[in-house]
């Protein structure tokens, strides 16, 4: 069975059981500054898992491309990737454990025809705050799964939230116990192929977990892994999903995959990811998504160079972005080589600096010195590397994980303030103004809009006063679900309207503002307190940017 057939069967299986297929979102999330990438199918659904009504209903299904930057160092074996496709189905407070586990089992064993004897399942064993998941255990048993194929684990294995175990969940974050399915390739080589998360808890200020008002199911299964299980061989790179890219790598390096697995796995994964990011407009840079893309390309370039010195990355995936970056990095390599020439001894720390400054992976430096007859202290390199990794992990933890801060009270206030600001700009500057982007953190809002020139101080003050006036009026915020056409006709401003199919949510603030939006929003504008515009500047020709902060009044 091909990966395409598996994807189609999954979507069909769940649509036949009352699920609506929703469109996947982009890898670079829109309107969400708390994370760099979409790393799971549930990420754009958080407001709905928390109780908001989804326009497509309570049962959803889709296939979502995902990118997990935090896994970059793991790539180079038969199962890890940064980029993958997640098949997902959700119950937003509708069915729960029984239906989910029955359906997943039916899908795997009957639709896909995987042998029951090859499957293992796992169940949450319970901890201080959350009881053992006896219910899932009984359900699996009732499906005739042998007890020695049912494994119990604690929070490290059988708890899922975007930030991991309960103690790592920030206030407001949702999660719950989960139940995984594994495929056994023999000799205890188990591969997780699907995970049903029972999202029923939310982290509280006092550190406790509170039950959500609705009990949700969030299932995710990696298409690459399901495909490899269907082939009964454990290397996801030997599935049709990687076929064409591996053939290209073999062709341009003139080497065989089976003899150069680790290097080619890195190139294949990273270049697939790079291609997808570039398609969304990401360009290599030293910041945020651009930095991650640069890292993907450089790691690939180095691996490729190790396989064949004259092979060119842009022959694997073509495009100007890749060509330019490869040329730039080629110069960096030359520069780095000159630096190395200058050093008469290279210790582990210097090897690490080369890695940091020039992007020279350790193996390359080691190889170059082996050629020069020098050995490097690998332990010292590793120690430097770990130190740095811990630091950068801590600094970027929030950013690389799924949108963590997004539904806090303050961010919700900023969401509503953004709508008010948008309308106020249109009232003061004219209706040619429209939103081009927005980005919210717990500290400020940033709003990009179309306008030809710098705003005058007087205009800025007028906009600020108008927003604060509307806050003072304590207007009621209302929500309506309607089809896209009616929303358009009602005069609602619309952005990213392709996201949720035909039905959209429209938020109105009194009769001042009306916008299509996923929310969440405050119930009345008075809750915001007041805002202050802190900056007005150009982003590019025809686009201006405003930053504003919420002030207590």
Using CB under 6 A as the criterion, which residues of the chain lie in contact with ligand SER when the complex forms?
A: 40-42, 88, 160, 195, 197, 218-220
- Residues 196, 215: Cα–Cα separation, whole Å: 13
Closest CB to ligand SER among 40 and 158?
Answer: 40
Q: How far is the CB of 10 from ligand SER (least distance, A)?
A: 13
Q: Contacts by 264-269 with C-beta closer than 8 Å and gap 24+?
A: 264/237, 264/303, 264/307, 265/75, 265/76, 265/77, 265/78, 265/237, 266/75, 266/76, 266/299, 266/300, 266/303, 267/300, 267/303, 267/304, 267/316, 268/237, 268/242, 269/75, 269/80, 269/81, 269/82, 269/83
Q: How far is the CB of 178 from ligand SER (least distance, A)?
A: 7
- Residues 453, 433: Cα–Cα separation, whole Å: 12
Q: How far is the CB of 45 from ligand SER (least distance, A)?
A: 10
- Residues 152, 539: Cα–Cα separation, whole Å: 53
Closest CB to ligand SER among 41 and 359?
Answer: 41
Q: How far is the CB of 121 from ligand SER (least distance, A)?
A: 15
Q: In which order are the strands placed within the sheet that holds 543-550? A: 435-440, 445-450, 543-550, 531-540
Q: How far is the CB of 203 from ligand SER (least distance, A)?
A: 16
Closest CB to ligand SER among 68 and 299?
Answer: 68
Q: Which two tokens stand for residue 293?
A: 């893309």
Q: How far is the CB of 111 from ligand SER (least distance, A)?
A: 19
Closest CB to ligand SER among 88 and 93?
Answer: 88
- In degrees to the nearest 10, what's the CA dihedral of 69, 72, 76, 79? -40
Q: Is-contact 113 107, C-beta < 8 A?
A: no
Q: Which H or E element spans position 211?
A: strand 209-222
Query: What is the b/e burial string over 171-194, where b = at least 16 CB atoms within 10 angstroms of the residue's CB?
Result: ebbbbbbbbbbbbbbeeeebbbbb
Q: Is-contact 226 63, C-beta < 8 A?
A: no
DSSP annotation of 192:
E
Give the residue at shortest CB distance from ligand SER: 220
Closest CB to ligand SER among 82 and 253?
Answer: 82
Q: How far is the CB of 198 from ligand SER (least distance, A)?
A: 10
Closest CB to ligand SER among 219 and 512?
Answer: 219
Closest CB to ligand SER among 41 and 494?
Answer: 41
Closest CB to ligand SER among 195 and 513?
Answer: 195
Cβ partners under 8 Å of residue 117, min gap 6: none
- SS3 (DSSP) at 452: coil
Closest CB to ligand SER among 46 and 267?
Answer: 46
């Amino acid at each position: 069975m091909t990966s395409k057939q598996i994807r189609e069967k999954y979507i069909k299986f769940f649509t036949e059981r009352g699920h609506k297929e929703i469109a996947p979102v982009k890898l670079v999330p829109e309107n969400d500054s708390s994370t760099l990438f979409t790393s799971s199918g549930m990420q754009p659904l958080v407001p709905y898992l928390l109780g908001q009504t989804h326009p497509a209903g309570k049962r959803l299904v889709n296939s979502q491309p995902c990118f997990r930057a935090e896994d970059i160092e793991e790539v180079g074996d038969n199962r890890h990737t940064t980029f993958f496709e997640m098949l997902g189905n959700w119950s937003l407070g509708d069915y729960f454990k029984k239906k989910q586990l029955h359906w997943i089992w039916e899908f795997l064993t009957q639709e896909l025809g995987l042998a029951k004897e090859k499957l293992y399942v796992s169940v949450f064993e319970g901890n201080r705050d959350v009881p053992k998941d006896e219910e899932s255990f009984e359900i699996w048993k009732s499906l005739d799964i042998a007890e020695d194929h049912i494994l119990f684990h604690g929070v490290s294995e059988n708890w899922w939230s975007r930030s991991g175990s309960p103690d790592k969940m920030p206030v407001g974050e949702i999660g719950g116990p989960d139940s995984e399915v594994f495929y056994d390739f023999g000799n205890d080589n188990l591969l997780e192929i699907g995970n049903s998360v029972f999202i029923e808890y939310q982290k509280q200020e006092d550190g406790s977990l509170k039950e959500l008002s609705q009990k949700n199911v969030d299932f995710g299964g990696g298409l690459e892994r399901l495909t490899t299980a269907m082939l009964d061989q454990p290397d996801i790179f030997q599935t049709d999903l990687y076929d064409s890219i591996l053939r290209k790598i073999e062709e341009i390096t003139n080497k065989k995959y089976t003899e150069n697995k680790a290097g080619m796995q890195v190139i294949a994964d990273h270049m697939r990811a790079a291609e997808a990011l570039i398609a969304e407009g990401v360009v290599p840079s030293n910041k945020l998504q651009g930095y991650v893309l640069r890292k993907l390309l450089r790691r690939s370039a180095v691996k490729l160079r190790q396989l064949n010195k004259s092979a060119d990355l842009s022959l694997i995936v073509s495009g100007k972005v890749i060509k330019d970056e490869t040329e730039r990095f080629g110069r960096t390599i030359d520069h780095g080589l000159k630096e190395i020439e200058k050093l008469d001894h290279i210790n582990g720390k210097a090897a690490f600096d080369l890695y940091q400054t020039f992007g020279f992976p350790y193996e390359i430096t080691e190889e170059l010195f082996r050629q020069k007859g020098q050995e490097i202290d690998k332990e010292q390199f590793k120690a430097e590397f770990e130190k740095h990794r811990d630091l950068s992990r801590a600094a970027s933890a929030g950013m690389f994980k799924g949108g963590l801060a997004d539904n806090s009270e303050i961010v919700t206030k900023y969401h509503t303030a953004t709508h008010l600001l948008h309308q106020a700009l249109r009232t003061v500057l004219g209706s040619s103004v429209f939103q081009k982007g927005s980005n919210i953190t717990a500290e400020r809002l940033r709003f990009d809009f179309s306008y030809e020139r710098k705003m005058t101080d007087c205009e800025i003050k007028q906009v600020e006063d108008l927003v604060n006036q509307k806050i003072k009026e304590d207007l009621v915020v209302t929500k309506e679900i309607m089809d896209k056409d009616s929303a358009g006709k009602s005069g609602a401003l619309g952005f990213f309207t392709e996201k949720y199919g035909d039905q959209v949510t429209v938020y109105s603030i009194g009769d001042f503002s009306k916008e299509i939006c996923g929310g969440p929003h405050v119930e009345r504008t008075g809750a915001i307190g007041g805002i202050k515009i802190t900056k007005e500047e150009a982003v590019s020709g025809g686009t201006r940017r405003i930053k504003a902060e919420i002030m207590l009044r």
